[in-house]
Amino acid sequence: MFKKLLIACICAAVLFGAGTGLWVWQGLGSLSKPVVMAEPVLFNVPGGSAFSEVARQLETRGLIEKSLWVRVYGRLFPDQARIKAGEYEFTDGMTAEAMLDMMVSGDIKHWSVQFIEGWMFSDMRAALASTERLEKLTSEWSDAQIMEAVGAEGEHPEGRFFPDTYLFTSSESDLDLLRRSFRRMESVLSEEWEGREEGLPYDNAYEALIMASIVERETGAPHERGQVAGVFVRRLQKGMRLQTDPTVIYGMGDKYKGRIGSRDLRTHTPYNTYRINGLPPTPIALPGREAIHASLHPDSGKTLYFVARGDGTHKFSNTLAEHQKAVRAFQLNRRSDYRSSPAAKDDEE
């Protein structure tokens, strides 16, 4: 009788163990099943979150069936319970295991904002203000406050930030991106300045940055940057005025409505290179690395003028007579209000 009872108990224990094992096996297996999502889901893990709480949040958000199996999984595989704080993006078809892997590796969601070559600082600020998922700390700040915050108190912001595409997470602010962009420009400008050609008409790297911003605004054709820089460098070396429209436009500020009139050219501003000698006091835009490089490695030659062909490129000339001929050929027959840059005549009043 005792033997029969013992055998029965053993059999019951085996069956119970087998049943429990099957139950656990099936539960853990559910973590390998793809999850259907109508659209990507953003899932935030605050700093200091317990693994069990994250598991419960996954269940609450409908990303797993039972948080129990995630907690069991974490007990069996402790390394898979060491999740990192941050915001994650889960997409249709992902499994719970894949979600855990993502959180363990810290593969958090990144967004991006792009600062374009040739933009002004005001354009850059507008882009930051309209960027979603980015904390706005500087929206109500003045330009001066921003420059102080990036470590350049009292300096002009124009041209001091590097144009590029910047990635960020939901924990970052617009100030973080401004600091990153500022440091990047400092680094790029320093590298390019160290490798500059000899004999250039710049007293310091900042003057090269000013020239680069003008080159950036003057041509959208990458292969012309060196040529444009060469023209302006030679004009500076010869004591000629730059006579470039983008500087006039910048000096006009909000008064610019799409056209420059003869009165605008006669108006003295610190940026009107038809009226001032040398470079304007600050950059006029965000120059990219190629424009900076071109300004420090200008093409050699004798060209002193250029005129737009109408196809995005320019015709370069050595003499004023050649330039005036090019102006007539490419522009005056098309537009009665056209002016070349530099001017079709050298007015050094």
Express each pLDDT in 12-67 by its tens digit: 444 344 444 444 444 456 677 888 888 999 999 998 888 889 889 988 888 887 87
Query: 75: pLDDT confidence band, cut at 50, 70 and 90?
Result: confident
Side-chain-side CA neighbours of residue 255 (13 Å): 11
> What's the mean pLDDT in 124-147?
97
> What's the mean pLDDT in 76-99?
88
Q: Which residues pair with 113 in a beta bridge?
A: 166
pLDDT at 70: 80
pLDDT at 28: 53
pLDDT at 158: 98
Q: Which residues pair with 112 in a beta bridge?
A: 167
Q: Are strands 86-90 and 41-45 parallel, antiparallel or unpaired?
A: antiparallel
Q: Which residues pair with 165 in a beta bridge?
A: 114
What's the mean per-residue pLDDT of the chain? Answer: 87
pLDDT at 29: 61
Higher pLDDT, 340 or 48: 48
pTM of the model: 0.81
> What's the mean pLDDT in 248-271?
91
CB burial of 232-257 (b: ≥16 within 10 Å; e: otherwise) equals bbbbbeeebbbbbbbbbbbbbeeeee
What is the percentage of the chain residues whose pLDDT exceeds 70? 86
Residue 7 pLDDT exceeds 50: no
Higher pLDDT, 50 or 336: 50
Residue 163 pLDDT exceeds 60: yes
Higher pLDDT, 145 or 97: 145
pLDDT at 10: 44
> What's the mean pLDDT in 246-253?
94
- Residues 285, 118: Cα–Cα separation, whole Å: 5
Indicate the DSSP class of residue 36: P
Q: Where are the domains of the chain?
A: 24-105, 111-190, 195-332
Residue 4 pLDDT exceeds 60: no
Residue 157 pLDDT exceeds 50: yes
| CATH level 2 (architecture), domain 24-105 | 2-Layer Sandwich (3.30)
- Residues 291, 293: Cα–Cα separation, whole Å: 5
pLDDT at 23: 40
pLDDT at 16: 40
Residue 217 pLDDT exceeds 80: yes
- Residues 38, 327: Cα–Cα separation, whole Å: 59
Residue 305 pLDDT exceeds 90: yes
Q: Which residues pair with 89 in a beta bridge?
A: 42
Residue 128 pLDDT exceeds 50: yes
Residue 101 pLDDT exceeds 60: yes
Least confident of 73-82, 105-114, 137-146, 153-162: 73-82
List CB contacts of 234: < 8 A, sequence separation 6 or more: 301, 302, 303, 304
